Chains A and B, each alone.
Chain A
């Protein structure tokens, strides 16, 4: 619970910048819904400062796996270990970004962003200060007192991301965060996300069904096969991120990875 009082400055706390690798370990996770087997024997590790994407066709259980890591859904068997501790429910070291934003329609942007801190009992002045900082980081300054219905889809998801950052969790779980955002904004988001990965040094677990998006943003891509969801392949794109976004998208290595993934997924498409 040290995160409670943490501020933006505390992110560079030397203690958290460990050289040790895996922050999140997924050990033998299985999930059944009655007779339906959703996930079978998933073993994965996620490293600090890296963005891992769970990618797969619909029905492969990628969102289910993400919610199990988040502690929102109990696993049938197996365990989730975070910072060497087995967890069974949601915890302060993880923050979730929702596909449908999950913003409270009755609350302003400021209160929505500070909601995670509000639940932890952080005093109002303190949490508003932190919230304002992240609102600024996601480019929403000036919108603090607006209500969600007054924002566009893209702006709403920026609120959702700012809220997740505001609690200063080690692990950020993003469930198809850009699927309800139009194409132009989506690209902008992907670039912003990359920037955030770089400066925040957190562990990102990202779910998407877009191959291009996965290849563009990921350090590592976990391919899941459907019915039941199993690990199919793990790919490390190794894209040179020093190039400009437009160059990356035209880069042959980038396009090869996209094609490679498409070839391994195509037989799942009907």
Chain B
């Protein structure tokens, strides 16, 4: 730690130590300062790049914000999210129910592990995006197809994390349960699942992240609906500010969702980890 602060000091010019020092102190105290600062840097750079302009197809930041509020104001944005969230939520819920079940089964049974683990390892590592268009052949273009696309991306992640969670359960807790003659059922429900639950939840969070990717792929590859429709439609009519607003909003929504889940995980689910 000492080495680090020394280097930080060296990086600063020596002429104006007071103001910089003050900023540095402030910055160290408040992490949000950095969030605001780096966001401000990006938005300024974006605004400048848009004003030059580097391309006719590159809107300024202010135009994008205006377009965003316009779309929120006239309700198109809310309608779009209503459409986009349907396959996302449905797909993630189905993946969570099946995925945690399959993952726990694989964690508990060597036979299930042998049979299923390689399949999910392949599916997680493989570029599933290539298979998304195939879904339309069987399930058409509706909600089913998009939900399936979300499941294709989210399920392997959730399964493998649940499986790992169960395999990494503290073995001495399991021994403890056995030494008190706990039945297999008690072992699973009183020890294994509670002990695995933080990792299970982390797997769910990663599943939600994969689900966002899945729903965007579905909306850009199967048929444009929701946010995907906003992106493609506004591009096709050269409303690039609107298109950027849609892209930025989905990234922001997914980031906020994941950050919220992470917060929930560290503050509510694992109080024992918070101190570290």
Q: Which residues of A contact B (CB under 8 A)?
A: 67, 70-72, 89-92, 94-96, 98-100, 102, 104-106, 115-116, 118-120, 147-149, 167, 173
Contacts and interface: CB of A to CB of B under 8 A. Distances in A.
Nearest to B177: A119
A102 B172 CA distance: 6
B180 A104 contact: no
Interface string B92-129: 00000000000000000000000000000000000000
B175 A98 contact: yes
A147 B186 contact: no
A72 B182 CA distance: 12
B180 A167 contact: yes
B13 interface: no
Contacts of B195: 104-106
Given A100-B172, A102-B173, A147-B272, A115 B180 contact: yes
B194 A95 contact: no
13 contacts: A71-B179, A89-B181, A90-B179, A90-B180, A96-B176, A96-B179, A98-B176, A102-B172, A104-B191, A105-B272, A106-B197, A115-B180, A147-B272
Contacts of B178: 71-72, 89-90
Most chain A beta-carbon neighbours within 10 Å: one of B173, B180, B272:
B180
B31 interface: no
B208 to A, nearest CB: 23
B271 A147 contact: yes
Contacts of A115: 176, 180, 190
Given A67-B175, A90-B178, 4 more contacts: A98-B176, A102-B176, A104-B191, A106-B197
Contacts of A104: 173, 191, 194-195
A95 B178 CA distance: 10
Given A90-B180, A119-B180, A96 B175 contact: yes
Interface of B: 170, 172-173, 175-183, 186, 190-191, 194-195, 197, 271-272, 275
Nearest to A118: B190
Chain A, interface SS category: loop
Nearest to B269: A106
Chain B, interface SS category: helix
A179 to B, nearest CB: 13
A204 to B, nearest CB: 15
Contacts of A71: 178-179
B276 to A, nearest CB: 10
Contact of A119 (B170, B175, B181, B275): B181
A167 B182 CA distance: 13
Given A102-B175, A104-B173, A149 B180 contact: no
A131 B194 CA distance: 21
Nearest to A116: B180
Most chain B beta-carbon neighbours within 10 Å: one of A70, A91, A102:
A102
A94 B178 CA distance: 11
A100 to B, nearest CB: 5
A119 B181 CA distance: 8
A155 to B, nearest CB: 15
A32 B178 CA distance: 22
Contacts of B182: 119
A106 B194 CA distance: 7
Contacts of B272: 105, 147-149
A71 B180 CA distance: 11
A70 B180 contact: no
A173 B275 CA distance: 33
A134 to B, nearest CB: 14
Contacts of B275: 149
Nearest to B181: A90
Contacts of B190: 115, 118-119
B179 A72 contact: yes
B176 A120 contact: no
A98 B271 contact: no
Nearest to A72: B175
A97 B186 CA distance: 19
Contacts of A99: 172
A115 B173 CA distance: 11
Contacts of B191: 104
A94 B179 contact: yes
A70 B190 CA distance: 21
9 closest A-B pairs by CB? A149-B272, A96-B179, A102-B176, A116-B180, A102-B172, A119-B182, A105-B272, A90-B179, A119-B180
A100 B173 CA distance: 9
B190 to A, nearest CB: 7
Contacts of A96: 175-176, 179
Nearest to A121: B186
Contacts of A94: 179
